[in-house]
Structure 1
Amino acid sequence: MIRHRHALIPVLLAISLAACGTASGSAGPGGLEVTELRYQGSVGAVTFPELAEHLGYLAPVKLKWIGNTISGPQDIQAAATGQTDFGGAFNGAIVKLAAARAPIKAVVGYYGSDKDSYVGYYVSDGSPVKGPRDLIGRKIGVNTLGAHLEAVVKEYLKRGGLTPQEIAKVELVVVPPVNTEQALRQGRIDVAALSGILRDKALTRGGIRPLFKDIDLFGPFTAGSVVLTQRFIQRNPNTTHKFVEAFAKAVEWTQTHSRDEVIDEFKKIIAARGRNEDAGSVAFWKSSGVAEKGGVIDAKEFRTWVDWLEREGEIKPGQVKTADLFTNEFNPFQNGTAS
């Protein structure tokens, strides 16, 4: 049930019409071409650009929130079509959008999986599901199709010996993350993909057990990156450098400060932005999951998914070159240090 590549055609048509909406301009304060960046946020959570702005790393650039999203593919499509200035998604989703000739470039890693932050696939304690083959004919709740959660499921099933025909009988159901636990407990789905705060809160309530985790298959890894359009980078090199530098420093700040310090700042940010949100969930934050210092992108974090999508027949062999998908040139930690 990976989203068919034809679904990207309207997006690509829109890209050619979006140039007039792409942020750019003559040099302003500090030589910056643009001093306001549009973005989508996440309910009850803090993004790295928001943290960067809060810590003063982004100034004089300011953020303009235009709404929230729960879908990485939607977020990077919004960036590709000029609705926002940047977006983030699972690296496999970035590969697919690039394969459809969207002019995007990944510039910094922003989330991943490690021993503290991972995606777990959970079943009820009394569930008969014990392994991959038991999932045939079952429903798995995921946040969106064509992204991290689906790719992990497909890999788990393939490694479990299921044929493509059998894998097709495992139904992926899109469920908003905040409702996934409830859907599992009510029996509307057989397996719930849970991560971060929502996973930990569900585990404290008991009654569920893990079937498998993404790190069981891939080990610790940075799973997603933030993208800019190539047009934005070309027209706004100074702003691009400022944005990526601030973003990277915010990632590094969470990697080098205590969990309590990070949570305290997250609570301040949520309170200050006034979106009528519950900040209680951030108390469960444990780590960013980003593997490299400051979100520096390792080529293998894209090569893994290029190879996987080629094997799955989602993209043609050689259709996408890993080196064309990302750049670390704006990241001050690319050589392991930053001022």
Structure 2
Amino acid sequence: MPLSPPTSRRHFLTLLGISAAAVGCGRATAGGATANTKTLRYQGFAGQVTLPELAEDLGYLGDVKLQWVGNTISGPQDIQSAATGQTDFGGAFNGAVVKLAASGAPIKAVISYYGSDKYAYSGYYVLKDSPIRSARDLIGKKIGMNTLGAHAEALLGIYLERGGLSGADIDKVEPLVVPPLNTEQSLRRGQIEVGVLGGVLRDKALATGGIRPLFTDHQLLGDFSAGSYVLTERFIERNPVTARTFVTGVAKAIEWARTTPREDVVARMTEIVRKRDRNEDTATLGYWQSHGVAETGGRIGDKEFRLWIDWLAERGEIGKDRIKASDLYTNQFNGYGKGSKG
């Protein structure tokens, strides 16, 4: 299968470089009145159940309904769709959220929705007999991942830096876009030297055998929330009640999945996929173990963004004082648990 050409490490996340002028402000309302829409447009993932979809099925969204408009290809694409008004919310890796906000997009992260723990993590895998054992061994090598400018590329960068590679050496490592369903096959065929695998695709590849992890994001950073759902500031201003219903409902779904027996969560998600009738395979849902969200109810703190702000600033992707972590998010609409941040 064809592989995308290599991208310079110095242009991390440039795929998100959109101007503030191009950013939409959500759906208009007559006379500027508060809308509190009861319909939220969104993008999903084939064969998967997102937390908002789970929240709706559990009744946590009340009279607010989700309107599926298609499936997203990546987190960066998903939050761009939200920022430009094509959808009402989107989710992405927090580094991508930082980059988009720094470009002038009026967005606000409102709840964490995925992360890394001992069950939910992404691994960087090589063939079992591969000579690759360290960060330095990746110079000149191809690393396949689902998209550039997002979680997988950022964690690769951290691993390379901690491995002592210079900027010039890091630029010689070649991250490539490989569709997740093709990553294992590309690795085994020698089209790439390293493949990033997570969830069911990771577990199925490990069950087949013949591969080993070079490192995992959990080994690098421990338990951490990695991505957030965002709303535009205009949407929040015009739909504060709906925003609170959405965020609190997703928070409840996070905790329902965390405290409910795994087999019951899998059964519920399987039924959701079957009911929506999109000709999807439900077999992979049986491998679900965790959403990996670190904080109770998906509440966000400065730490979720500070690491990526510093990392991007060091690389010249954003200005050193361009943005503050506390400006990127709010817990104001999260009614699960105590405390709030406006």
Query: Do both proteins adopt the same fold according to a TM-score greater than 0.5, normalized to the shorter chain?
Result: yes
The amino acid of 2:185's aligned partner reads: Q
Unmatched 5+ stretches in structure 2: 1-7
Closer, same or farther: CA 298–271 of 1 in aligned 2, 3 Å: same
Equivalent residue number for residue 74 of structure 1:
77
Matching of residue 274 in structure 1 with residue 277 in structure 2? yes
Q: 2:13·2:149 contact (CA, 8 Å) conserved in 1?
A: no
Q: Which residue of 2 aligns with 1:106?
A: 109
* Other-structure match for 1:39: 42
Consecutive unaligned residues in structure 1, runs of 5 or more = none
The residue that corresponds to 1:165 in the other structure is: 168
Secondary structure at the aligned position of 1:316 is classed as coil
Q: Which residue of 2 aligns with 1:90?
A: 93
Q: Deviations over 1:301-336 (max 9, x none)?
A: 111111111122211111111110000111122417
Name the counterpart of 2:20: 12
Partner residue of 2:262? Answer: 259
Q: Which letter does structure 1 place at the counterpart of 2:186?
A: A
Find 1:59's aligned residue among 59, 62, 72: 62
Cα separation, 1, equivalents of 2:27 and 2:190 = 45
CA distance in 2, matches of 1:312, 1:299: 20
Question: Is the Cα–Cα contact under 8 Å of residues 255 and 293 in structure 1 kept in the other structure?
Answer: no
For residues 51-74 of structure 1, what are the alpha-carbon distances to aligned partners after superposition, in whole Å with 9 as ceiling and x for unaligned? 011111112111111111231011
CA distance in structure 2 between the partners assigned to 1:32 and 1:320 by the alignment:
30
1:22 aligned partner: 27
Change (3 A) 1:58 1:336: same
Name segments (4+ residues, structure 1) moved above 6 Å. 25-28
| Per-residue deviation, 1:4 | 5.8
Aligned residues: 332
Which residue of the partner structure matches residue 316 of structure 1? Answer: 319
Q: Secondary structure at the match of 1:50?
A: helix
CA distance in 2, matches of 1:289, 1:197: 14
Q: CA deviation at 1:27?
A: 12
Distance 1:9 1:120, change over 3 A: closer
TM-score (norm 1): 0.93
Letter in 1 for 2:269: F
Q: Partners of 2:32 and 2:327 in 1: how far apart?
A: 28
Deviations 1:173-215 (A, max 9, x none): 0011111111111111110011111111111111100000111
Corresponding letter in the other structure for 1:111: Y
Distance in 1 (CA, whole Å) between partners of 2:18 and 2:173 is: 28
Residue in structure 2 matched with residue 126 of structure 1 by the alignment: 129
CA distance in 2 between partners of 1:45 and 1:309 (Å): 30
Aligned-pair RMSD on alpha carbons? Answer: 2.0
What TM-score, normalized by structure 2, do the two folds share? 0.93
1:142-181 paired onto structure 2 within 5 Å? 142-181=145-184
Partners of 2:156 and 2:303 in 1: how far apart?
20
Q: 1:300 to 1:55 in 2, by over 3 A?
A: same
Partner secondary structure for residue 169 of structure 1: coil
Matched, 1:233 2:241: no
Q: How much identity, in percent, do the aligned residues show?
A: 57
Instruction: Classify the secondary structure of the residue corresponding to 2:318.
Output: coil
Deviations 1:67-113 (A, max 9, x none): 11231011000000001000000001100001101000000000000
Counterpart check, 1:215 vs 2:218: yes
Distance 1:119 1:231 in 2: 34
Partner Cα separation in structure 2 for residue 204 and residue 4 of structure 1: 33
